[in-house]
Structure 1
């Protein structure tokens, strides 16, 4: 069964190996080039170089991050979805079952063989990207943000295993390859949206702190609302879960008349004006010290979900017909 599963998978594996080789070479080149930047070799008075360093690499690294974010979806569509559905469409599963191979063994071997490939590919991609981007991540302090958390270290491996198992499970239920690929892609995109926004912020109870509205903080916000609501506040190295409206020194809502007068000023003078109000916001956040714990929790979440999907597939196969 192992040899047969490999024979059926070898075409996809060859394509993956070629893509992995090309991408690995590109990531190694990227990481080496980043490490040759003047900022990385700077030892003192590096603030201006740090800002230039971030501006230089941020867009390219976000583009590469998007590539790893798409990888599990591609695995679910092109590796997971056809794994069982294609067998059903071609009727080749009957040939295997008639040769004393049980249904459970047939499914288990297929999941393990291709699943091992998923782990290998996603691990190499994640390892190389994490290494290549580490000088930038150290400066930016944003690897715990919702966008980057899922494309560094352990989380991408768990998501790849889940994506593959989901595709295989849907293929067993639908038994049509194209239909399964479409549904798997849709579900995985939804999961990519829901996990960072609804689940990840609540793995643990967030900590709380008051962040003063200094001129620098205000200038870096993405949005200042007329009712003193904001967005885009960051805490270095942390995952921000929520922020309050802008509060005054007494803890109540900031004086809106004075606040409106500041907001109506030019973008150059408004931050200093708001800072002069002595305002702050209450922030719920997960500190940087929780990063690796959250990585392990997310890996466990995806692996448990994958195990449940594999169990559902096994039960469905046992009860299903030919």
Structure 2
């Protein structure tokens, strides 16, 4: 048996409870998502059809079914978005931080495993289940969302935060980047509680940066319309900006107008040189380009963080 495989087995034994908890979380999540995609969505769809009918007819509709769908869907989506923080906190506090603080790592390095093999075994033993588990949950979340899309009126639209991230590979690569962030933080800080807090903060910053950069990684679409046609493309995709188009073709923010008729507002807009509206946004056809370009960027960040971990470890061990 190679030194790396022996070290990986030891890592699994040392962190088996964390891996068991992760596996249990994934299994429970799979079960809940299958329930959401099946009976819960069917029940909510029937209730929504009745509710939609009763908005134009004189009848009473029970909204408890699709509100229950909404609560369960939101809870599962929020748990999915919280996975990178769970992974980062565990990686920083337990996977490397605890061993560095207690001296267990130094003891392991005097035995069969070299520092590089020790770190590689931890990354491999943690990275595989994290990637597989997160990918399974994302795939089922997308399936559950697609089953309800167009059938349940309270379901998230594709561009809304929970559906956008919960339905694509970005959340999986965020988990891997969070793992690398936690590992590096534990090696640098070498104390459990500070490593835990710093890993969570860095993961939040990484998530925020990815969210901010994503709309700019692919060329958006700009739709222009006349005043009487209103905004075209507004609230139908990932919006970057909207406002007035002037006679010179410039794009300006829409002036405030609290009038009750569009005619009054249009005169105000025309006084500012406006000739129509514009909306710059990403339509549904841009979903996968946005997801894949951001995924590639996060994989690059993960690789850099992993390389930095090996550099830090080599410098600390000589």
TM-score (norm 2): 0.78
Report the counterpart of residue 146 of structure 2 in structure 1.
134
The alpha-carbon distance between structure 1 residues 275 and 234, as it changes in their structure 2 partners (threshold 3 A), is farther
Structure-1 separation of matches of 2:42 and 2:254 = 49
Report the counterpart of residue 288 of structure 1 in structure 2.
284
Report the counterpart of residue 192 of structure 1 in structure 2.
207
Q: CA RMSD in A?
A: 3.7
Which residues of structure 1 form unaligned runs of 5+? 219-231
Structure-2 separation of matches of 1:39 and 1:286 = 28
Report the counterpart of residue 186 of structure 2 in structure 1.
171
User: Does the aligned pair in 2 maintain the 1:248–1:255 contact within 8 Å?
Assistant: no
Structure-2 separation of matches of 1:214 and 1:177 = 61
The Cα of 1:104 is off from its aligned counterpart by: 1.1
User: Does the aligned pair in 2 maintain the 1:162–1:306 contact within 8 Å?
Assistant: yes
Report the counterpart of residue 74 of structure 1 in structure 2.
86
The alpha-carbon distance between structure 1 residues 254 and 16, as it changes in their structure 2 partners (threshold 3 A), is closer
Deviations 1:118-157 (A, max 9, x none): 1122112212211112133456683234453222121111
The alpha-carbon distance between structure 1 residues 39 and 25, as it changes in their structure 2 partners (threshold 3 A), is closer
Q: Match of 1:205, SS?
A: coil
User: Does the aligned pair in 2 maintain the 1:215–1:274 contact within 8 Å?
Assistant: no
Structure-2 separation of matches of 1:188 and 1:88 = 21
Corresponding pairs, count: 294
The Cα of 1:38 is off from its aligned counterpart by: 7.2
Residue 202 (structure 1) aligned with residue 178 (structure 2): no
Report the counterpart of residue 58 of structure 2 in structure 1.
none
Structure-2 separation of matches of 1:119 and 1:128 = 14
The Cα of 1:311 is off from its aligned counterpart by: 0.3
Match of 2:315 among 309, 312, 319: 319
Structure-1 separation of matches of 2:227 and 2:176 = 43
Which residues of structure 2 form unaligned runs of 5+? 1-6, 56-60
Report the counterpart of residue 239 of structure 1 in structure 2.
238
Structure-1 separation of matches of 2:112 and 2:253 = 75
The Cα of 1:82 is off from its aligned counterpart by: 1.9
